[in-house]
Amino acid sequence: MGRYVIRRLLQMVPVFIGTTFLIFVMVYAIGDPIAAMFGDRTPDPATAAAIRESLHLNDPLWSQYLQYMAGIFQGDFGTSFNGTPVVELMGNAFPNTIKLTLVAFAIELVVGLTLGVIAGLRRGRIVDTGVLVFTLLVISIPTFVTGYVLQYFIGVKLGWAAPAVSIDVTFDQLLLPGIVLAGVSLAYVSRLTRTSVAENLRSDYIRTATAKGLPRRRVVTVHLMRNSLIPVVTFLGTDIGGLMAGAVVTERIFNIQGVGYQLYQGILRQNSPTVVGFVTILVVVFLAANLLVDLLYAVLDPRIRYA
């Protein structure tokens, strides 16, 4: 297994280089960031030339990319156009987003799995239909609608939670945005779990376990769950990255200065260093999450081995 992990880590290198290069090209190829910096006014030629030079914008794109990558490996993600080092922006943004992701992930895991298992065990009954209707509803309403509606009713009208998260970003304030962010994935988790549970319920080993006289609780939690979780874990793993990147909408609505907000600002202001830096980190998160998922398979199902 050790070799497998090392091989996977090595495979990440070309993927990392490829994705970051694509992002870099895309971000730096659109428009002229200098033109946008000056508002509705033509830049003063001397000032514009000085800024262009300091940002290496006159160099060919491949050389800019090499300089950028060289910087990254020394922990230097460049400087955002407002003079703040991108690393500092990340230091402010990632803890907030990670907190939000953890809250959303926990909600997704607990509620999604519970709903899925219950629905799967009672396939075709009223509970199953109820969960189906609920998940359909959650999937079909866009995040920003749930976001604004919950913010208005629970935050502003009822006053049960702060409608806008304060700059301290405490866990209790993150509950509401966490629910909103978890919404859609939660529905997927419960649907996946339900199908998987319902299917495995009819398999031989479950029948054997039941026939052995094992208590139902043990059959469900140990025998049934362990096998049923494989597709769910795949989804959950990749979803961590998805949640972090997908927080763009939720973070704006609930005033969380996280990754999504920085990315949005970066794109809006054509702040290329910010955008490329944040996306690069997200790529790493995605890669790591995928590796984790693959390794978890072996824990869940010993038949899956790694050479």
Site for other proteins in 226-265 (CB under 8 A): 251-257, 261, 264-265
Q: How far apart are CA 133 and CA 129, in angstroms?
A: 6
Least Å distance, CB 69 to other proteins, is 16
CA angle 126, 230, 175 (to 5 degrees): 65
Closest by CA to 235, choosing from 71, 133, 116, is 116
Decide if residue 81 touches other proteins (CB under 8 A).
Answer: yes
**Using CB under 8 A as the criterion, what x/- string covers residues 188-207 for binding other proteins?**
--------------------
Of the candidate spans 121-129, 200-208, 227-235, 277-285, the one that interacts with other proteins by CB under 8 A turns out to be: 277-285
- The residue within the footprint of other proteins, chosen from 25, 57, 72, 98 (CB under 8 A), is 98
Closest by CA to 115, choosing from 174, 195, 172, is 195
Q: Please state, as a whole number, how many other Cβ atoms lie within 10 Å of the Cβ of residue 283.
A: 20
Least Å distance, CB 161 to other proteins, is 10
- The residue within the footprint of other proteins, chosen from 104, 169, 174, 224 (CB under 8 A), is 169
The DSSP element (H or E) to which 19 belongs, if any, is helix 2-29
Q: How far apart are CA 24 and CA 26, in angstroms?
A: 5
Of the candidate spans 40-48, 63-71, 130-138, 207-215, the one that interacts with other proteins by CB under 8 A turns out to be: 40-48
Least Å distance, CB 81 to other proteins, is 7
The 8-class DSSP code of residue 258 comes to S
Q: Which is nearer to other proteins, 201 or 288 (CB)?
A: 288
Decide if residue 95 touches other proteins (CB under 8 A).
Answer: yes
Decide if residue 51 touches other proteins (CB under 8 A).
Answer: yes
Measured torsion, CA atoms of residues 34, 38, 39, 40, in degrees rounded to the nearest 10: -100
Q: How far apart are CA 49 and CA 55, in angstroms?
A: 10
The 8-class DSSP code of residue 145 comes to H
Cβ pair 220, 257 in contact under 8 A: no
**Using CB under 8 A as the criterion, what x/- string covers residues 281-300 for binding other proteins?**
x--xx--xx-xx--xx-xx-
- The residue within the footprint of other proteins, chosen from 91, 142, 215, 231 (CB under 8 A), is 91
CB-based burial, 81-103: b 16+ in 10 Å, e otherwise: beeeebeebbeebbebbbbbbeb
Residues forming beta bridges with residue 138, ordered by sequence position = none
Least Å distance, CB 243 to other proteins, is 13
Q: Which is nearer to other proteins, 125 or 305 (CB)?
A: 305
Of the candidate spans 19-27, 48-56, 191-199, 209-217, the one that interacts with other proteins by CB under 8 A turns out to be: 48-56
Decide if residue 166 touches other proteins (CB under 8 A).
Answer: yes
Count of chain residues binding other proteins (CB under 8 A): 77
Least Å distance, CB 255 to other proteins, is 4
